[in-house]
Amino acid sequence: MRVVMLSKALVVGQYQKKIEELARHSDLELTVVVPPFWRDERGVIPLERAHTRDYTLRVAPMRFNGQFHWHYYPTLPNLLRQIRPDLVHIDEEPYNLATFHALVAARRVGARALFFTWQNILRRYPPPFSLMETYVLRHSDYAIAGNAQAVQVLRAKNYRGAVQVLPQFGVDPDSFAPRPLAQSPNRPFRIGSGVGRLVEEKGIDVLLRAVAGLSGDWRVHLLGSGPAQARLESLARELGIAARVQFDAPRPSAEMPAYYAQIDALVMPSRTRPNWKEQFGRALIEAMASGVPVVGSDCGEIPNVIGDAGLLFREEDADALRAHLIALRDDPARRAELGARGRARVLAHFTHARIAEDTYRVYRLLVG
């Protein structure tokens, strides 16, 4: 079974572990096409070669790199003619040029094709994106949705094909694992936040207002960058907590396990906006795998990711978030219980191996 996967997300080394797990199947000849880098508002993300065994990693030129809707791989049609795959896995949204371009190329060589979507809000796009999306929804053989609400969006847009809810990537439980630190009685309670991008919808202001009323010795570590950083720094000063709030620059994926080892709880206080709500919350499963208790708002997919393995609060409710943080700070046994429960949930549902196995079943279903 020859499969070509197209994925700009796989420039991230940690994500490549899923591909190694997929490649363990001896009947699968897998080629993964990635750009040499991906550019977004955080800057340039270079290709990391972390997990590249047992499959072929092809670095292909990308036009309009950094433009989410417009990027595509001009050499892909030639590559597909050379490989003659049975299946093309397009790891992109159905309204993107890259998806439309790859699907047309796949059909020309007689390959079946599937696409991936996170989009959990029903949005209508102007031409030419609406035209490309319509073509993709009509001519694809399968869809993988990163969350349950994305399936509802597909059906509302008249996609009638097969679809499965399956996260794009999982975590490596050997890399993201509990690493107990030597505890000092004078060590502050450390709160991390799975941010990535410092933008309004991530709700970091709610976290700052919550901890502003928190007694005792504590610190907040905000990992990421973005347009809201200056406003958040100003808010921290207004609340009189600037000395306890640390803004950490984004880190390579390989350094993230060490970040989780330094915190006592992770908070994801996202808020819904007309054009956005949380689609998954990858930091949640990384922290859970690391044995770190998680607290999340009820925005989008967060409750489904956490399940019964963490604490939830209503969006914008800083008082409820503060109560959860007090409970975790004052009860180490509760922290340990939720940390263990979170790791068990990840091992059952969110490892690279689990997601790779489910993806392989989709491949076998399509190729027969």
Q: Are residues 284 and 355 in the same domain?
A: no
Domain assignment present for 232:
yes
Per-residue pLDDT, 195:
66
- pLDDT single digits (tens) 306-361: 999 999 999 999 999 999 999 999 999 999 999 999 999 999 999 999 999 999 99
Percentage of the chain surpassing pLDDT 70? Answer: 98
Domain assignment present for 183:
no
DSSP letters along 47-81, please? PP-S--TTSEEEE---BTTT-TTT-B-TTHHHHHH
Domain assignment present for 254:
yes
Taking each helix axis from N to C end, the angle separating 97-108 and 76-83, rounded to the nearest 10 degrees, works out to 30
Domain assignment present for 179:
no
Q: Are residues 197 and 325 in the same domain?
A: yes
Domain assignment present for 87:
yes
Q: Are residues 344 and 359 in the same domain?
A: no
Q: Are residues 228 and 337 in the same domain?
A: yes
Q: Are residues 10 and 143 in the same domain?
A: yes
Q: Are residues 135 and 57 in the same domain?
A: yes
* Counted domains in the chain: 2
How many angstroms separate the CA atoms of 205 and 317, rounded?
11
Q: Are residues 200 and 143 in the same domain?
A: no
Closest CA to 55 of 108, 16, 7: 16
Q: What is the CATH number of the domain that holds 16?
A: 3.40.50.2000
Q: Are residues 163 and 224 in the same domain?
A: no
Per-residue pLDDT, 186:
76
Q: Are residues 237 and 297 in the same domain?
A: yes
3-state secondary structure of 246: strand
CB 109 within 8 A of CB 87: no
This prediction's pTM: 0.90
Left, alpha or beta for 80 (phi > 0: left; psi -120 to 50: alpha)? alpha
- pLDDT single digits (tens) 26-56: 999 999 999 999 998 778 999 999 999 999 9
Q: Are residues 46 and 148 in the same domain?
A: yes
Q: Are residues 126 and 205 in the same domain?
A: no
Confidence of residue 196 (pLDDT cuts 50, 70, 90): confident
CB-hemisphere CA count at 13 Å for 275?
3
Per-residue pLDDT, 224:
87
| Mean predicted confidence (pLDDT) in 3-30 | 96
Domain assignment present for 92:
yes
- Domain encompassing residue 76: 2-170+351-367
Domain assignment present for 208:
yes
| Mean predicted confidence (pLDDT) in 135-139 | 98
Q: Are residues 161 and 197 in the same domain?
A: no
Domain assignment present for 180:
no
Q: In 228-306, where does DSSP find H-type helix?
A: 229-238, 256-260, 282-289, 302-306
CB-hemisphere CA count at 13 Å for 357?
6
| Mean predicted confidence (pLDDT) in 150-175 | 96
Confidence of residue 181 (pLDDT cuts 50, 70, 90): low
